Structure 1
């Protein structure tokens, strides 16, 4: 794990559009498309399917806005909103997760890739700092999320 592998800050919010629009208005952020859907994850309480939806900023430094998932523990915004996690690329999610565990981090959620190898993992430090490790194999696909800004008018028209 290296500092230069940091690639985004994640924000979980119950007010997705408002948060996105405020970051655009105040800081000039432009956004890629909203992506996601139901995914299978493993939580401390067991396996679960969560409807995880997000948008990444096209503008750097990269920000990810995630729609709150009620009662999912990890993505439930009722505990407060703000910076939810810091996302890092990982060449070996399992090994990096084990290294964080040796430093007292607790695994909050994991997802396996189609090859059965960990695809992402959320780890929380004893003092509350949360890290998301994302397999570097996802980089090409995720880069599509911030390749081109989505025209706000087209997005609004599609929802009508």
Structure 2
């Protein structure tokens, strides 16, 4: 009996840890002093997102900054009143960020294992997923953010030249 060949997906590659903070500028200063690492200036990123509680695509603005050294990078994310960036559970590690070679296939596979969607960000003008946040309830309190590897060149160029601005992100597929 011959079994059908299965697609082999590489294991995700950890590349950042995201912290949810009440005041990004204060946190940036404190993290720089405590960890001895520098951070890029905070920036706002405009996205179209689909969330667990609001599944239709809608605009969302995220304020964030990354450490200047990595991987593994440290990301600081400004809390807000959205369901997935609320301070209802205090400041904390918010998520672990991974690169995966095909986030759509990875999501399909992990959904079969019981992981649920919390947030989906698609490439501009496409049905393909660029970023996928898992619902932390479905993974013992841990939220994972998976980035599509096809987006890596744009992201790495942004990290190398922060002055490019966040508006240049998400253009490639």
Q: CA RMSD in A?
A: 2.0
From 119, 141, 145, give the equivalent of 1:128: 141
Structure 1 segments unaligned to the other structure (5+ residues): 151-160
Looking at structure 1, the residues matched to 159 and 69 of structure 2 have their Cα atoms a distance apart, in angstroms, of 8
Residue 63 of structure 2 is aligned to residue 66 of structure 1: no
Comparing 135-144 with 85-94, greater Cα deviation is found at: 135-144
Q: How does 1:1-160 map to 2 (within 5 A)?
A: 1-2=10-11, 5-45=13-53, 46-47=55-56, 48-60=58-70, 61-70=72-81, 72-114=82-124, 115-124=126-135, 125-147=138-160
For residues 81-102 of structure 1, what are the alpha-carbon distances to aligned partners after superposition, in whole Å with 9 as ceiling and x for unaligned? 2111100012111111122222
Runs (4+) of structure 1 moved beyond 4 Å?
A: none
Over 3 Å counting, the alpha-carbon distance change for 1:20 and 1:91 in structure 2 is same
Instruction: Tell me the TM-score normalized by structure 1.
Output: 0.82
Aligned length: 148
Instruction: Provide TM-score, normalisation by structure 2.
Output: 0.77
Gaps of 5+ in 2: 1-9, 164-173
Seen in structure 2, the aligned counterparts of structure 1 residues 22 and 31 have a Cα distance that, compared at 3 Å, is same
